[in-house]
Amino acid sequence: MNQRILAAVVAVAVSAAGCSKAGAEKAQLPAQQEGSTALGVKAITPATELEQNVTRVTGQVRSKQEAVLGPQATGTLAKVNVRVGDKVKKGDVLAQLDTSNVSIAVDQAKAAKDMAEAGLQLASSNLERMRKVAESGGIAANALEQAEIGQKQAAAQAAQAGAAYRLAVENLRDHSIIAPFNGIITARNKNVGDSVAMTPSTPVFSIVDADGLEIRMLVPESVIDNVAPGTVTPGTVNPSGMRFEAKVANVGAVIDAQSRTVEVLADVTGTPERPLRPGALVEMDFSKAAGDAGNGLFLPAQAVSSKGQDGFVWVVQDGTVRKRDVRVQRVLPGYVKVLQGLSAEERVLADASLNVKEGTAVRVAQ
């Protein structure tokens, strides 16, 4: 009897244990299924400031003034006064053509001018005497008229001789190549004895203003609204890494139809560690010009579904996604600034176009 009761107890215990195990397995099944069906996603948190690499624009250093200089006359180079690398001032004579014949022409024009001025002085004195005699009735009226005509002819001859002299002097000046501004000679293409021509002009020197430098850059249209004259932006010279600053001087009014960029010119300000060289490539950082000096909450544009400033993001909460309305502002290519609706600690789906809905279970992939 006791053995039968013991056997029954054991049977009941075994049965109960089996039911408990089956129940546990059944209870674990939804969790296993949930884990296996959760959508793997990438989640990100908003950046509190934009990285420099997304706000950089490549530009080139160039001189505000540069010129290729040639002669204003035809002849032979008699003297070359500068070499490549020399610093010159505005008005310096860089080279001179042979002026032997031109100098003689100047002397001849000067003599003719002096002679004409003397003739004018004589005619003017003669006219003055004639007028005094005419007042007393000592000469006929036609004699006074002839004296007046003679004086006018002498004045015209003096004016003509003066113009010829100035032309000769100007021709002599054209035989000199003169620096149009302060700068550095960057090329010299001719030497003493070489023949040069005015038409077409023979290039003899190249000169650049190494002090007045500017940066020319093509800024994407999505950035240009944050760039205005007076904006100061830091720059880095490639490949040396030397830092400097530049102030925006001019923002183009036209967007290039092919590149979708706008030309911006900025003046180099301050004193860089080393002199900048025209032609150098630089990277200009516009992070301070974007979105309240680059501070705030920023997301890749792909993380926000928006039309204008209104949009939404998918916030990850407790293994599911929740739709959150936000207001955003486009600040740079591929980036928006979150104006409201999101905190810095919250995580959102990196791609708002994923096929999810309110409450979709997700698994964040690291």
Correct CATH for 40-50+293-364 of 3.40.50.300, 3.40.50.2300, 1.20.810.10, 2.40.420.20: 2.40.420.20
Please tell us whether the domain made up of 65-98+175-208 is placed in CATH 2.40.50.100. yes
pLDDT < 70 regions, the chain: 1-36, 50-55, 222, 288-295, 331-333, 366
Q: Which residues contact 249 (CB under 8 A, 6 or more apart)?
A: 214, 229, 265, 266, 267
Q: What is the distance between the alpha carbons of residues 59 and 280, in angstroms, rounded to a whole number? A: 9
Q: Is the peptide bond before 200 cis (omega within 30 degrees of 0)?
A: yes
pLDDT on residue 294:
54
For residues 211 and 182, is the Cβ–Cβ distance under 8 A? Answer: yes
For residues 339 and 39, is the Cβ–Cβ distance under 8 A? Answer: no
Give the percent of the chain with pLDDT over 70.
85
For residues 173 and 24, is the Cβ–Cβ distance under 8 A? Answer: no
For residues 70 and 181, is the Cβ–Cβ distance under 8 A? Answer: no
Q: What is the distance between the alpha carbons of residues 260 and 247, in angstroms, rounded to a whole number? A: 23
Its pTM stands at 0.58
Q: Which residues contact 348 (CB under 8 A, 6 or more apart)?
A: 43, 44, 45, 46, 299, 303, 313, 314, 315, 316, 324, 342
- Residue 23 phi, psi dihedral angles, 5° rounding: -65, -40
Q: Which fold has domain 99-174?
A: Helix Hairpins (1.10.287)
pLDDT on residue 365:
84
Q: Domain-by-domain residue ranges, the chain?
A: 40-50+293-364, 56-64+212-289, 65-98+175-208, 99-174
Tokens describing residue 125: 């004195």
Q: Beta 281-285 vs 261-269: how paired, if at all?
A: unpaired
Mapped to the 3 state alphabet, what secondary structure does the chain carry? CHHHHHHHHHHHHHHHHHHHHHHHHHHHHHHHHHHHHCEEECEECCEEECCHHHCEEEEEEEECCEEEECCCCCEEEEEECCCCCCEECCCCEEEEECCHHHHHHHHHHHHHHHHHHHHHHHHHHHHHHHHHHHHCCCCCHHHHHHHHHHHHHHHHHHHHHHHHHHHHHHHHHCCEEECCCCEEEEEECCCCCCEECCCCCCCCEEEECCCCEEEEEEEEHHHHCCCCCCCEEEEEEECCCCEEEEEEEEECCCCCCCCCEEEEEEEEECCCCCCCCCCCEEEEECHHHCHHHHEEEEEEHHHCEEECCEEEEEEEECCEEEEEEEEEEEEECCEEEEEECCCCCCCEECCCCCCCCCCCEEEECC
CATH code, residues 56-64+212-289: 2.40.30.170
